[in-house]
Amino acid sequence: MTLRHVLHVGNILNNGYLHCKYLRRRGVMAESLNVDYTHCQGQPEWNEVRITQPVAHFDQDWSQIDVGEFQRPAWYHGLSCGDLPELADRMAGDGGNRPPAEPVDTPTESLRGRIGRAAIGHRAAPLRRAVSAGLSALGMHQTASRLREMINLARLAGEPDQGRALKEFATTVIADYDRLLPDAPTPLTVQDVLDHIGRARMHAPVFSHFPLIQGYSLDPIHPLLGTPGKPFICYEHGTMREFPYEDSARGRLYRLALKKAEKVFITNVDCIASAKRLELDNWVFIPHLIDDDHFHPGESPIRQELLERLDCDHLILCPARHHWRHSPDANPNSWFKANDVLIRGIAKFMANRPEIRASVIFFEWGMEVDLSKALIAELGIADRVHWEPIRSKLCMLDFYRAADVICDQFHPGLASFGAVVPEGLACGKPVISNLNHETHSWGFPVLPPVVHAPDDEAVAKSLETLFDDEETRAQVGIAGLAWFRQHHSSNLVIGRMIEVYHELSDRHGWGWRFD
């Protein structure tokens, strides 16, 4: 019998996978569900394998990539939406726990049952399997999965009386929206719900095997609509900055999900402003999980080779993705890293102190790599800059350990940090970034000893200070490592998450107690 506690839905930057990896060590039977997200940084191999060959950013064929002895754990489920019914069938067949639904009003329960039967689509199973087998035999696996999804969604809306059931359910969701968000600038509509309910209800058979769902980014919309009444947690990836205020169906539904969630995990300290704006009282701050199985001080096998190849004495590592001029989705605070501020600061440092033989390492990651390369050429420092392809985490660890100084992001509208800062601190390296102390003070009792640089002049000055005195550089790194271990370690992150699970267990009578 397979015991299941929490399903983590979504895997941006492998966060769902990593949480499950560490939670399971503490006795939490957590599983990771990653649906239709194929970016390389959201695949377990990216975290666990030192990948040296080129990897496509999306839609990798892992059978053609050397991953050594690594195998995906059985609790990780990376698949397409059309494959969810088969996953649910496998879970039902392994003797696992299938907890009863949370008590809800009789009309809602009736609607849920009627819609759920349509979503599972057992009567379409023979057609689904036949089409899938034919297309898969031709090597069209993605096409097969998409077609299975289309068949299920068509059945959801097309069977007798299902259209009426869906619209009736939509009215209950709208009533919740009006009650919980009376001052919302735009109303939730029936069409908003219908646009998202099909995909959400395809998740429902899998969700039924878990008492609790933890949805990442916008994925909490799936339990909101797919399994009404089931407890869920919202884990924000910076998604609270702008998405709840979008004039769109997903924006309105995400806003409602934040209000209805049993808990909201805030991982970016600046998002407290959004929590206050939405008048949330269900949030808790939990820092990003850094895999300190890997990220800790150690020797780098590539440092000496880099120094010789780049003909330098020092290495400045800049891992942040490149976005600094054009904002996708008009969300600058979530996208921008202000790489131009960093580049101009490095150029000033090199002009001011040409005797310091330092090279800079950037990574070809982000939508505006070409803009960064053009600016570097314009400033005349291209011969001091080295570009690397996007790298897996273990390869990045080699670069972190090889570096003398690490630089993160410098966006003035954000002044917050994600993974780069704590990864650098975990490796005992001095880190330069634009860090707003006032923004961070509510989340951390002690602020991280990051070298604060709000503009290009400060970047240049910070680099000069660190490279002028090796002892200062070492002491900043030591202080950063000590801070990470006390305020940002995996034990702290997982401990806070388990505290929330215990709280919800007491509320719902699940009887959970973990180490």
pLDDT in tens, 89-106: 999 987 655 444 343 332
Q: How confident is the model at residue 437 (pLDDT cuts 50, 70, 90)?
A: confident
Number of H helices, E strands in the chain: 21, 13
- Distance from C-alpha of 80 to C-alpha of 239, rounded to nearest angstrom: 23
Task: Count other C-beta atoms under 10 Å from residue 326's C-beta.
Answer: 12
Q: What are residue 316's DSSP bridge partners?
A: 360, 405
Per-residue pLDDT for 85 more than 80? yes
Predicted pLDDT of residue 464: 98
258 and 320, same domain (yes or no) = no
Per the structure, the count of domains in the chain is 2
277 and 313, same domain (yes or no) = no
SS3 content of the chain, % helix, strand, coil (to 5): 50, 10, 35
Q: How confident is the model at residue 42 (pLDDT cuts 50, 70, 90)?
A: very high
Whether this prediction's pTM lies above 0.85 is answered by: yes
Task: Count other C-beta atoms under 10 Å from residue 244's C-beta.
Answer: 25
Q: Is residue 124 part of a domain?
A: no
DSSP state string for 256-280? HHHHH-SEEEE-SGGGHHHHHHTT-
237 and 356, same domain (yes or no) = no
Average pLDDT (304-320) is 98
311 and 441, same domain (yes or no) = yes
Q: Is residue 162 part of a domain?
A: no
Q: Helices 106-120 and 162-180, interaxial angle, to 10°?
A: 130
Predicted pLDDT of residue 118: 40
310 and 450, same domain (yes or no) = yes
Q: Is residue 52 part of a domain?
A: yes
- Distance from C-alpha of 213 to C-alpha of 218, rounded to nearest angstrom: 13
Whole-number percent of the chain with pLDDT over 70: 85
Q: What is the CATH number of the domain that holds 66?
A: 3.40.50
Q: Is residue 186 part of a domain?
A: no
362 and 340, same domain (yes or no) = yes
> Shortest CA distance to 101 belongs to which of 195, 200, 254, 213?
213
99 and 238, same domain (yes or no) = yes
Structural domain for 455, as ranges: 303-488
318 and 434, same domain (yes or no) = yes
Whole-number percent of the chain with pLDDT over 90: 78
433 and 334, same domain (yes or no) = yes
Comparing 242 with 176, the larger pLDDT belongs to 176
Q: How confident is the model at residue 159 (pLDDT cuts 50, 70, 90)?
A: low
Residue 385 in contact with residue 362, Cβ under 8 Å? yes
What the block records as the tokens of 45 is 């191999």
Q: What is the CATH number of the domain that holds 421?
A: 3.40.50.2000
Residue 274 in contact with residue 282, Cβ under 8 Å? no
- Distance from C-alpha of 421 to C-alpha of 287, rounded to nearest angstrom: 12
- Our measurement of the distance from residue 69's CA atom to the centroid of its chain's CA atoms, rounded to an integer in Å, reads 26
Instruction: For the chain, give the mean pLDDT.
Output: 89
33 and 94, same domain (yes or no) = yes
329 and 432, same domain (yes or no) = yes
Q: How confident is the model at residue 68 (pLDDT cuts 50, 70, 90)?
A: very high
